[in-house]
Amino acid sequence: MEYSLYIFAFGSFLLLGFSIHMLFTSIGNTYLNKLLAAMMLMRGLQILYFIAMNTGQTIFISILFNFLGPFLYVFGAFLYLYVRGFIRDESRFKKKDLLHFIPLLLAFIDSIPWYFLDNATRENFITNMIAQRAFFTNENFGFFPQHVSSLIRNGLLITYFILIWRIIFGSGMIKTWKNNSTVTNWILIFVVITTLSNLNLLVNSFINILSGPSTGNLFLSNYRVFVQSTILLGFFGYLFYNPKVLYGFVFVSKEYAVARKLTEKKPIDPIQADQLLDSNLLKISKSNRKQAPTISEEEIEELKKKMILLMESEKPFLNPDYSLGDLANQTALPSHHCSYILNEYFDRNFREWVNGYRVDFFIAQYPSLIKSQTIVSIALASGFKNKNTFYSAFEKVTSQKPSQYFSNLDLS
């Protein structure tokens, strides 16, 4: 077996394992979990099909060829619904979204004749595909010619990717990706990898449609496998370097249980859970918060001024991952000293104090940016991890919703 197929086998194992895990987990956004699981399952099975094709496993090819084919028509729909649901914070399926799955129904109908073919004809199709390294056949056995079906499938995929990137650009995430946390950037990383992977498949598919499968296309087939394995290696390498990006979206089990327990079992979204678990506030004991550090009042006044100057000049609050530990490092103080000053002299905990600066920054930026950006994109650029955290912090600081606040401001 070629080295690239080992990579494919490893990738398929991970995708299928994670998809099964996410289908049955009840923690987190189960709606988005199941959409992501469906995509992982389809891609995992597709990789298995590639492996079976390259190793001549006729039984697996026969099973996957007609079972998997119809689902490829709705891979783009699943991805679109996932991205839209992630950005708009959706938690359930809408009735009108059923329209996205009409191609799946039509594809299943088109595949019915395959099951009525005699074994010799099916084996001949599969033998030819294996010999030519083609992942489709020019022979027609359905209601639509194969080249027409392929054009429809690829056309749908291109259309959905256009819609997906339109949502991404409209959300303002691209402009603020440097200030976004690793977890917030999950959707960007996922869409980029998926786009690259499918672009490679689309190019190969269109070339095959134009030239037809032949032994001369072996180089093209090998090239596609090489590119796909390189993309997989790059993605896995990034994940091993920064596994935190999977938290809340693929890893949704033990950490969520801890986070929910810490918040008295109230509902919590992935990014809030990450915020709770990463924040050094969780490491500060009650005794440390109550115990006054051995610092004179003069020193405390100097530290207060230093903390305020730091926030106003360097604006570290624009980093969504800014933590109490970062503040302690910048002020050369232990974390519990910083916490004590914030609680006793600013009458706020660290998160409330930082969010106050973020709200002020948002209010200052809003008038000049609202015509070209959405409220959420301005909030993300102000250091908030997601819109729920922003709205909660804004109401806590101003006692009003953003629309009410700026409406009253205009009237004054």
CATH number, position 381: 1.10.10.60
Query: What would you report as the CA-atom Rg of the chain, rounded to the nearest whole angstrom?
Result: 26
What are the CA-CA distances from residue 283 to residues 162, 216, 288, 324, 345 (Å)?
44, 63, 10, 10, 21
Assess whether 43 and 109 both reside in one domain: yes
Assess whether 360 and 312 both reside in one domain: yes
Assess whether 226 and 145 both reside in one domain: yes
When pLDDT is cut at 50, 70 and 90, the band that residue 290 belongs to is very low
Residue that is last in its domain, among 246, 261, 288: 246
Give a yes or no: residue 13 inside a domain.
yes
How far apart CA 63 and CA 164 sit, in angstroms, is 31
pLDDT at 286 over 60: no
Q: What is the average per-residue pLDDT within 326-346?
A: 82
Assess whether 290 and 242 both reside in one domain: no
Give a yes or no: residue 259 inside a domain.
no
Burial class, 118, CB count within 10 angstroms (exposed 0-12 / middle 13-18 / buried 19+): exposed
Residue that is last in its domain, among 228, 246, 264: 246
Domain residue limits at 343:
279-411
When pLDDT is cut at 50, 70 and 90, the band that residue 253 belongs to is low
Give a yes or no: residue 271 inside a domain.
no
Assess whether 141 and 289 both reside in one domain: no
Assess whether 294 and 354 both reside in one domain: yes
For the segment 20-45, what is each residue's pLDDT rounded down to a tens digit?
A: 888 887 776 788 889 988 988 888 88
pLDDT, residue 345, reads 84
Considering only 150-154, 175-179, 312-316, which range has the smallest mean pLDDT? 175-179
Assess whether 311 and 228 both reside in one domain: no
Q: For Cα atoms 343, 387, 324, give the angle at the middle one, nearest 5 degrees.
A: 30
pLDDT, residue 89, reads 74
Give a yes or no: residue 269 inside a domain.
no
Give a yes or no: residue 254 inside a domain.
no
Decide: 200 and 231 in contact? Cβ < 8 Å.
Answer: yes
pLDDT at 216 over 90: no
Considering only 202-206, 212-216, 303-307, 328-332, which range has the smallest mean pLDDT? 212-216
How far apart CA 385 and CA 189 sit, in angstroms, is 16
Q: What is the DSSP string of 106-166?
A: HHHHHHGGGGGS-HHHHHHHHHHHHHHT-SS-SS--SSS-HHHHHHHHHHHHHHHHHHHHH
For 158, residues 6+ apart whose C-beta sits below 8 A from its C-beta are 202
The percentage of the chain sitting over the pLDDT mark of 70, rounded to a whole number, equals 72
pLDDT at 399 over 50: yes
Our CA dihedral for 74, 71, 158, 23, rounded to 10 degrees, sits at 60
When pLDDT is cut at 50, 70 and 90, the band that residue 93 belongs to is confident
Assess whether 32 and 156 both reside in one domain: yes
Assess whether 93 and 196 both reside in one domain: yes
Give a yes or no: residue 266 inside a domain.
no
SS3 247: strand
When pLDDT is cut at 50, 70 and 90, the band that residue 280 belongs to is very low
Decide: 393 and 401 in contact? Cβ < 8 Å.
Answer: no
pLDDT at 77 over 90: yes
Q: What is the average per-residue pLDDT within 334-361?
A: 87
Number of domains in the chain: 2
Residue that is last in its domain, among 224, 246, 268: 246
Assess whether 208 and 310 both reside in one domain: no
Decide: 253 and 27 in contact? Cβ < 8 Å.
Answer: yes
Decide: 1 and 229 in contact? Cβ < 8 Å.
Answer: no
> What CATH number does residue 40 fall under?
1.20.1070
Assess whether 283 and 341 both reside in one domain: yes
Give a yes or no: residue 162 inside a domain.
yes
Decide: 143 and 70 in contact? Cβ < 8 Å.
Answer: no
